[in-house]
């Protein structure tokens, strides 16, 4: 399948040491150097950081959640206001998901519980019905019934207008039997094909990535790669559970990655811890999205060149050094560990902003470093 004129993937270097590769994804809003980290801005903003600052810091791809934006302010409302890039004032690339992940993973109450304490009403939400047509669920905001179908998810993502979009898939439960997993995978494939067809009817300069499923079953994962590779997707995301621990995930990905088309970009959904990124880059993963680095920051867990650092640890109380003396982020250039320790103790909002700036810059710098290492066949 030839690349779209508005979306192109170029491999600059294939490591001689591993499957790791350095590339460039060209989108209508600029280039994404790969491998790269994709920060999550669920509601159209990273938590505690504004988008202009995030752009200045060099984040090349931002992940927004269709589920949240569909419910507030609404995808049609975003379209009316000029699309997501204009609405949230981000000139660089954006990727949105289908909304399915949140419906399946959060509708059980997690979002409701999170919001209950912030003055939101508590609706008995969750999945009402899954059928061939799609998934019927209740809005956590106002209890309204919403039918999410492959077609409606893509239309919502057309309204949002991200550079990369994702087809509707089903997130199978961990406890599922093999037979149920096969049925789920087959329906996911049908949903993805319907999503693709809706997209192709009006591409709007967007690229669409397939989502590889199959749970922890290697044969099903392989089948998913084969089935979806035969469709004209622009790239491949890997979704669902890959295993119970890092070793299982690594083993599954080692098996799965060679089955993906080499010449198209791939994306590992929802994985962003440092150990996973370091090891999975060697398998040829191009992009990783995760809320982990920003969430860690808000909980005072900071990333440094010598490992994780808990800012509330008592030995930071008197420490006038920055979080990381090798870091040139705004926070490390200006503030000491002792001050950050104090701000966290006092539960000041400023603490969350300063910590998030640091962890985000750490991720941007880390992935830049990995790209250089791959260029020199060091990983």
Site string for a second copy, 16-55 (x = CB under 8 A): ---------------------------xxxxxxxxxx---
Q: From 21, 67, 116, select the one nearest 370 (Cα to Cα).
A: 21
User: Given candidates 91, 142, 219, 318, which one binds a second copy under the rule CB under 8 A?
Assistant: 318
Q: Of the residues 163, 234, 289, 324, which is catalytic?
A: 289
Quick check: 313 binds a second copy (CB under 8 A)? no
Q: Which stretch binds a second copy (CB under 8 A): 66-74, 128-136, 164-172, 209-217?
A: 66-74
Give residue for tokens 């789920």.
Answer: 184
At a CB cut-off of 8 Å and minimum separation 6, what does 31 contact?
24, 25, 60
Residue closer to a second copy by CB (options 236, 352) is 352
DSSP letters spanning 234-288:
SEEEE-S---SSHHHHHHHHHHHGGGS-TTS-EEETT---HHHHHHHGGGT--EE
Residue closer to a second copy by CB (options 236, 335) is 335
Residue closer to a second copy by CB (options 105, 350) is 350
365 a catalytic residue: no
273 a catalytic residue: no
Restricted to residues 333-362, the positions that interact with a second copy (CB under 8 A) are 334-336, 338-339, 341-343, 345-350, 352-354
Site string for a second copy, 268-307 (x = CB under 8 A): ----------------------------------------
Q: From 314, 303, 309, 244, select the one nearest 278 (Cα to Cα).
A: 303
Q: Which phi and psi angles does 21 have, rounded to 5°?
A: -145, 150
Are 353 and 46 spatial neighbours (Cβ–Cβ below 8 Å)? Answer: no
Q: Which residues is 27 bridged to in the sheet?
A: 30
CA dist 110 to 102, 106, 172, 240, 299, Å?
10, 5, 17, 18, 18
Restricted to residues 78-107, the positions that interact with a second copy (CB under 8 A) are 80-82, 87-89
Are 186 and 220 spatial neighbours (Cβ–Cβ below 8 Å)? Answer: no
User: Given candidates 129, 299, 317, 369, which one binds a second copy under the rule CB under 8 A?
Assistant: 317
Residue closer to a second copy by CB (options 26, 292) is 292
Footprint on this chain of a second copy (rule: CB under 8 A): 43-52, 68, 72-73, 77, 80-82, 87-89, 115, 118, 317-318, 320, 330, 334-336, 338-339, 341-343, 345-350, 352-354
Q: What residues are labeled active site?
A: 97, 289
């Amino acid at each position: 399948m030839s690349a779209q004129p508005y979306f192109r993937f170029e491999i600059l270097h294939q490591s001689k040491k591993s499957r790791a590769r350095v590339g460039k994804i060209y989108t209508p809003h600029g280039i994404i150097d790969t491998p790269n980290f994709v920060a999550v801005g669920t509601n159209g903003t990273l938590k505690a950081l504004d988008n202009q600052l995030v752009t200045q810091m060099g984040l090349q791809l931002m992940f927004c959640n269709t589920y949240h934006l569909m419910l507030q302010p609404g995808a049609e409302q975003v379209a009316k206001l000029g699309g997501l890039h204009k609405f949230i004032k981000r000139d660089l690339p954006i990727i949105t998901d289908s909304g399915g992940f949140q419906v399946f993973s959060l509708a059980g109450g997690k979002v409701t519980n999170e919001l209950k304490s912030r003055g939101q009403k508590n609706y008995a939400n969750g999945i009402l019905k899954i059928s061939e047509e799609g998934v019927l669920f209740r809005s956590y905001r106002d209890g309204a019934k919403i039918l999410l179908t492959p077609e409606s998810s893509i239309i919502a993502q057309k309204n949002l207008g991200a550079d990369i979009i994702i087809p509707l898939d089903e997130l199978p439960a961990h406890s599922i039997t093999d037979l149920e997993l096969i049925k789920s995978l087959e329906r996911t494939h049908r949903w993805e094909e319907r999503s693709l067809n809706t997209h192709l009817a009006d591409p709007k300069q967007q690229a669409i990535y397939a989502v590889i499923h199959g749970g922890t079953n290697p044969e099903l994962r392989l089948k998913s790669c084969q089935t979806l590779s035969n469709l004209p997707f622009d790239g491949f995301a890997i979704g669902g559970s890959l295993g119970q621990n890092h070793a299982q995930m690594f083993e599954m990905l080692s098996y799965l990655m060679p089955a993906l088309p080499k010449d198209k970009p791939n994306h590992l959904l929802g994985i962003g811890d440092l150990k996973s990124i370091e090891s999975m880059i060697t398998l040829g993963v191009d992009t990783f999205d995760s809320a982990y680095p920003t969430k860690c920051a808000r909980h005072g867990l900071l990333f440094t060149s010598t490992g994780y650092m808990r800012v509330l640890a008592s030995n930071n109380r008197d420490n006038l050094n920055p979080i990381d003396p090798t870091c040139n982020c705004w926070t490390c250039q200006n503030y000491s560990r002792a001050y950050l320790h104090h701000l966290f103790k006092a539960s000041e909002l400023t603490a969350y902003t300063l910590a998030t700036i640091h962890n985000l810059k750490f991720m941007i710098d880390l992935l830049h470093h990995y790209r250089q290492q791959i260029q020199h066949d060091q990983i």
